[in-house]
Amino acid sequence: MLGAEREFVINYRNLARKHLKHANERLAGGADQSLKYAALDLRMAMEALTYDRVAAYKGEFPPSEYETWQPRKIMMVLLEIDPMADKDSSIALGLEEKYGVPTPKMTSLGTEKVLGLKTLKKHYDALGSYLHIQSLKSARSGKDINYEKIRGRCEYIAKYVSEALSSPVFNCTIGMFANLECIECSKPIRKRIPSGKDSVTAECFECGATYTITNESEGKSKWSPHQHEIECANKNCDHKIVVWNHELELGRQWECPVCKGKNTFVLAIDFKDAPN
């Protein structure tokens, strides 16, 4: 986890601003040959904005996914955590005049514009296609490079990224959470409960133990560990052990503390003769 935490020392939002600035300078220069460099800077700005979004969910983001740096894949992971992760949002505050009754007087803190999955799908790879030499198929067809189209897409993305970076509030993640100290390793687990879901699966990033969290009444939640009671394979021994889902691996062994025999998880086929 330490390696993943170090990633967030980088100020990705500032990196996005730098790449946007370079892209705008190249677009303002007017040279068609500079467009590919503008496209590269804009792709990097989009990447930086996506990584900055991950930082807001760092306590919920699986460490195994930190090595997946493609923006679309990262955003898809975020959407599994929080279906609202790529949606614009507004924040307003107000003092309740009566407990439990929304106040009619609200003060807006601003609106956050987020670089969402739809925009990433539509433009990220398209920008990347401008960074390559014209394909043989395109050249043989006699098609010329459409610099006007490239410029239009770059200008659109530059405007979009600029609006996202200009948001007065950003990386706001509000939700309902369930908390538990892992019964296997005692590390704290914090899991978001998406609106409308009755149950979700939570994983301890420290030891791999998993649980099903069931949302109950009055803001309470029930944690059910994914455990199995396994009997010793020795027919003359009735000792049992408890194993987690992630421990059920082919070839995994354990020594029975009672009969001292060795047990191994294996695949097996049970054969019976056909009835006469």
Instruction: Kindly report, residue by residue over 50-65, the tens digit of the pLDDT.
Output: 999 988 887 788 777 7
Task: Tell me the residue type at 216.
Answer: E
Query: Are 84 and 155 in a shared domain?
Result: yes
* Gap between the Cα atoms of 83 and 133, Å rounded: 38
Q: Which of 118, 133, 165 lies at the terminal end of a domain, its last residue?
A: 165
C-beta separation of 214 from 226 below 8 A = no
pLDDT score, position 19: 97
Query: Are 253 and 180 in a shared domain?
Result: no
Residue 35 lies in a domain: yes
The percentage of residues in the chain with a pLDDT greater than 90, rounded to a whole number, is 42
Residue 271 lies in a domain: no
Residue 171 lies in a domain: no
Query: Are 219 and 237 in a shared domain?
Result: no
Parallel, antiparallel or unpaired: strands 176-181 and 188-193: antiparallel
The better pLDDT of the pair 174, 38 is held by 38
Q: Give Rg (Cα) of the chain.
A: 27
Query: Are 67 and 127 in a shared domain?
Result: yes
Confidence at 68, pLDDT banded by 50, 70, 90: low
Q: Which of 118, 142, 165 lies at the terminal end of a domain, its last residue?
A: 165
Query: Are 131 and 158 in a shared domain?
Result: yes
Query: Are 89 and 114 in a shared domain?
Result: yes
pLDDT score, position 215: 82
Residue 154 lies in a domain: yes
- Helices (DSSP H) in the chain: which residue ranges? 2-7, 12-29, 35-55, 71-81, 117-129, 136-140, 147-165
C-beta separation of 258 from 232 below 8 A = yes
**Structural domain range at position 243:** 229-264
- Hey, what are 217's tokens? 């009444």
Residue 23 lies in a domain: yes
Which letter does DSSP use for residue 144 in this model?
P
Query: Are 221 and 259 in a shared domain?
Result: no
Query: Are 10 and 114 in a shared domain?
Result: yes
**How many domains does one find in the chain?**
3
The better pLDDT of the pair 138, 3 is held by 138
Q: Per this entry, what is the length of the chain?
A: 276
Question: How confident is the model over 190-249, as pLDDT tens digits?
Answer: 888 877 778 888 888 888 899 999 987 766 888 999 999 999 999 899 999 999 998 888
Query: Are 20 and 128 in a shared domain?
Result: yes
Query: Are 29 and 146 in a shared domain?
Result: yes
Residue 204 lies in a domain: yes
Whether the pLDDT of residue 90 is over 90: the answer is no
Whether the pLDDT of residue 264 is over 60: the answer is yes
Query: Are 141 and 235 in a shared domain?
Result: no
pLDDT score, position 66: 67
pLDDT score, position 5: 46
Query: Are 66 and 201 in a shared domain?
Result: no
The percentage of residues in the chain with a pLDDT greater than 70, rounded to a whole number, is 94
